[in-house]
Structure 1
């Protein structure tokens, strides 16, 4: 019975409290974990001795508070792909002809690259893959191969593979071709096979590589051939499997007039641009970096939505042991400190502590940005929210009722750090919460 009860408690905890999603806030480097430890030790060194109530309500409150803080931090982190998670830099690459050249910005210095990084590209040839098209044979006729067990080899990416198949007395040509089509496709070696038909009741097997281009020193992407062995040969010649109908080719283009070549139509330039060429160009296509105003507006709106959700959830939870007013007032205090006085951007702090946004005014303000100074209050607000979420995660117990038993002597050198006490209910039960 004890085992059944323990399993029930474990399953209840996993279902109700363990996070369902892993966010960027859960991936810690060594230095980040060291900072968490130092924060816990610093808080605890001068912390009074509290009387912690060992009951389900207190435990559940502490875990729920910590989980909400973790979720808030994770949601804020997900808004930015920059290393600085409070960054409001949103940039995107542009091209003067996105039907022929597509670009994405992958650089790490958006402020420096906007308006300065870029190039002109001209495409004279796209990268293509190799295609072998076999002989067209009458579909409904008896197989051109005599009944037997056959084998042939394929060399691709410096690897060799053997394919074996059987031809039976009742097989038609189309049966053999379809059999080989399935055999090659199921192998998963970087080849696609397809039975193609002509208008005179004939069909052939077409084999193509899944990759484009050809590396230096190679004559072909793949090679179909036969070697001596116990199984019958002759299938390659009879079906024309080794006939190259379209050889592989590399992409040829120029960057600012300088000739370049790539084995793929997808490549990077200067560590700042991810390029996909789609068609041959007749004139230079310009590629550059611009501010992504729509992404910035979405970032600010999502930030405000996450803050409002956190405040409303703190307001809505009421029980005798949970200090909801303390949690709510601290969050509202952050908004009041940093988000007041920017109504000209369409962002207004309401009386109950939530933040409202006038979408039209925000779009106009973002479109008219001359520098990042106008965004400084929002950036500071983001920093403060992240720090508050970390603070809550380190010591969620300060938001539940815990009477003080004894204060430590602030002048004593005997006060030692005990870093795990603050996590008694919320940090050490499962490593997901550490």
Structure 2
């Protein structure tokens, strides 16, 4: 005998709930019990119907349920709830000094406003060699070497100099060799066009102070023959590496990087030293709100499509009335938020949509609009069959209300449509 329980568990394990609907469409045990009790309660007071459950009617009923679930999910998303901070963005009062960006998930411990003053940026090490006559040669022909230590790594560069090689060409050959080996140092040539000289410049890729040293790189001439360090003047430090120094809410901090992260929620890029504190604060993210609003409008208009197409069901007119009744009752609030209703019942948003008005429209604690959506969609989700054509067979016994245990079975395929 086929064990249907095993079949269901197999498909429920193989076909997961869509991620975007997981939170809203999953329920706790007591919530599922409440849904079942609501179904039974409806059946106690409902006539016994006969209807034709053709493929077209099933598509129509399931379409109502899924569109209503999407509308409820999108409405809940705009209402914020526990995820209000995830609809915010970080704003810097002076983006020439520092830039701020929020992560996708924002910790509740992150303050709404920060005062940041940048004393200095983290810098790397810069060594500038001797300025040598570009068109002359300061080296006798032969083989030369250069030893550089970067952190714990030692690198040796060998260079053959010919009688025809001039100083600038020698500097350029050595710079090309250093750059092609990617040792964490960038080499370049600095020219002085007035007196016709050039110098080799070495910059560390890393910035800030190393943990166990005060330099990012240094030179070791003790074990190398014909070392070029002194002749090129490469051991002359032009800029010492240093850490960034800054204050957050008057508390001093240092960092080896010019990018800092707070509470695993906020990234701040330090761009320049500041003469006065810069304020970083959280504000509604218009782009995120606009995307969520577009999803809401699409779900609402999907229900309008189903109601207008109707699949030749007389109940479609009642479906249309229930949906558009929400917007009729809140027409002024929708208009203030930049949301418009056309003659066919569809919703669109204007370019002047105000994100703050949209948030207020869906605010979880204050919004009658959000409550109306929840009330109407809950009815559609619980009993989408209310909108199909049916014939009354018997009326309920109003003196003794007995639950009909068989009627809830017609909902089972709809209740689990997201699973299998």
Alignment of 1:342 with 2:333, yes or no, is yes
Paired position in structure 2 for 1:183: 181
| Distance in 1, Cα, partners of 2:129 & 2:410 | 76
1:240-389 pair list within 5 angstroms: 244-255=237-248, 258-267=251-260, 275-282=268-275, 284-285=276-277, 287=279, 289=281, 302=294, 305-306=297-298, 309-315=301-307, 317=309, 319=311, 325=317, 328-336=320-328, 339-340=330-331, 342=333, 345=336, 352-355=344-347, 379-382=367-370, 385=373
Change in CA separation of 1:36 and 1:394 when aligned onto 2, cut-off 3 Å = farther
For structure 1, the residue ranges without an aligned partner over 5 or more in a row are 1-17, 430-434
Paired position in structure 2 for 1:218: 212
Q: How big is the shift at 1:250?
A: 1.9
Q: How big is the shift at 1:64?
A: 6.4
* Match of residue 188, structure 2, among 175, 195, 208: 195
Counting matched residue pairs gives 379
Contact 1:129–1:247, Cα closer than 8 Å, also in 2? yes
SS of the aligned residue for 1:84 comes to helix
1:346-368, Cα deviation, whole Å (9 max, x unpaired): 667666434577877x769959x
| Distance in 2, Cα, partners of 1:70 & 1:238 | 77
| Distance in 2, Cα, partners of 1:49 & 1:98 | 66
SS of the aligned residue for 2:82 comes to coil
Bigger shift: 378-387 or 249-258? 378-387
1:123-144, Cα deviation, whole Å (9 max, x unpaired): 3322223345567786998998
Change in CA separation of 1:201 and 1:69 when aligned onto 2, cut-off 3 Å = farther
1:26-425 pair list within 5 angstroms: 26=21, 28=23, 33-35=26-28, 39=32, 42-43=35-36, 46=40, 84=82, 93=91, 95=93, 97-103=94-100, 108=108, 117-119=113-115, 121-132=116-127, 146=143, 154-155=150-151, 160=152, 173=170, 174-184=172-182, 191=184, 193-199=186-192, 200=196, 202=198, 204=200, 206-210=202-206, 212-214=207-209, 217-220=211-214, 222-223=216-217, 244-255=237-248, 258-267=251-260, 275-282=268-275, 284-285=276-277, 287=279, 289=281, 302=294, 305-306=297-298, 309-315=301-307, 317=309, 319=311, 325=317, 328-336=320-328, 339-340=330-331, 342=333, 345=336, 352-355=344-347, 379-382=367-370, 385=373, 411=403, 421-422=413-414
| Distance in 2, Cα, partners of 1:401 & 1:139 | 97
| Distance in 1, Cα, partners of 2:377 & 2:226 | 70
TM-score, normalised relative to structure 1: 0.55
SS of the aligned residue for 1:281 comes to coil
RMSD over aligned Cα atoms: 6.5
Higher-Rg structure is: 2
1:172-195, Cα deviation, whole Å (9 max, x unpaired): 7444532431320xx7xxx36243
Paired position in structure 1 for 2:7: none
TM-score, normalised relative to structure 2: 0.56
| Distance in 1, Cα, partners of 2:394 & 2:197 | 95
Paired position in structure 2 for 1:8: none
| Distance in 1, Cα, partners of 2:411 & 2:141 | 80
